[in-house]
Amino acid sequence: MTSLVEVSTHWPSQVPLASRQDALNLSDAELRRYQRAFGLSEICRDTEHSEAELLMAAVDKLGSLRGREHRVRYLIRARTQRAPSPYPDSALHEVRRELGLSHASAFALTEHACASGLSAVDLAGMLLAEDPDPDALALILVGEPARAPDSQILPGMGATGEATAAVLVADRGPHNRILGFACRTLYTGDPCMAMSSEGLDRFRSMYTDAVVETIALAVADAGLEIGDVALLLPHNVNRIAWVRMADRIGLPLSRIFLDNVPRTGHCFGADPFLNFETACALGRIRPGDRCLLVSVGLGATYAATVVEH
């Protein structure tokens, strides 16, 4: 059974959302809405380091990787933005060279947007299950810089941050076993992730139903009921959406981990992994607990993964 060997994260400096008001073109009313209704206070931002450096900062904290780099067969870059850097620059291949992983197959996933991180875990599990080496590993890189103005804000939903995560995956293991997974892609009327205002309206209208249905599918795939989930680890777009969804999901708000929403902003596909690591560090997830990682990508893709800690 696929397992998460280790999850590590890197948080750049946290800056007040208010200090970004002009850059994000937020009116005073919009800023108050983002702060009070959405629960956003600070966002992780780094204007000094490259995409590769931000990713390596997370990889460097993977203690389980040291001495086992030769076992990494798959290096997967889970991205939201299709081309965060101009050709021929490649953060993926910079990290590959830095780690000495020339023997590993390296590729990127993008079409699931911010759900690509959870999709990458599922894909890594399938690749490792078919790999002839039972000790093979996959390394997933998640999170990215938000350099373009339109990547720094989700209009009417949230603001983005630049924290990153590194996820080391094995075909089997005693801890953090993947019990269930579900992924759904729904058509919004737009062929691109950069949606029109009409596409965004359709995305917002289907959002709650699609999240609730995807969570139910993942829990059923794990052979569980929603009451068996000790903690839901969401993407950090905003607080109010999860407050409103709690009853529909069937979990009390105390079992939805929202501690990082005011501190990070929406860090693309890294959010569920940021929350997983933080919740573990705080003792909110105990051995044997089943937790649920959830993320949504514009476009629109919905993904949920059940993990037994």
Q: To which residue do tokens 């037994």 refer? A: 308
94 vs 88: CA distance, rounded Å: 11
Please report, for residues 51, 95, 168, 173, 231, the alpha-carbon distance to residue 123 in angstroms, rounded to integers and kept in the order given.
Answer: 23, 20, 13, 17, 24
Reading the block at residue 298, the tokens are 């514009």
| pLDDT tens digits, 28-59 | 999 999 999 999 999 999 999 999 999 999 99
Q: What is the pLDDT of residue 194?
A: 64
- For residues 152 and 159, the answer to whether their CB atoms sit within 8 Å is yes
Secondary structure E strands in the chain? 3-10, 14-16, 42-44, 72-78, 105-109, 137-142, 153-154, 158-159, 164-170, 177-185, 229-233, 290-297, 301-308
Residue 63 is predicted with a pLDDT of 96
Query: Given this model, what pLDDT does residue 204 score?
Result: 86
Q: Which two tokens stand for residue 45?
A: 């931002």
Q: Is 205 exposed, middle or buried (0-12, 13-18, 19+ CB in 10 A)?
A: exposed
What does the alpha-carbon distance between residue 74 and residue 194 come to, in Å, rounded to a whole number? 29
Q: What is the pLDDT of residue 189?
A: 78
The pLDDT, as a whole number, for residue 183 is 97
| pLDDT at residue number 191 | 63
C-beta of residue 159 within 8 angstroms of C-beta of residue 40: yes
Residue 87 has a pLDDT of 74
Cα dihedral 267, 268, 272, 277 in deg (nearest 10): -40
pLDDT reported for residue 109:
93
The stretches in the chain having pLDDT less than 50 are: none
In three state form, how does the secondary structure of 150-181 look? HHCEECCCEEECCCEEEEEEECCCCCCEEEEE
Task: Output the pLDDT for position 211.
Answer: 97
CB 143 within 8 A of CB 267: yes
Rounded to two decimals, the pTM is 0.95
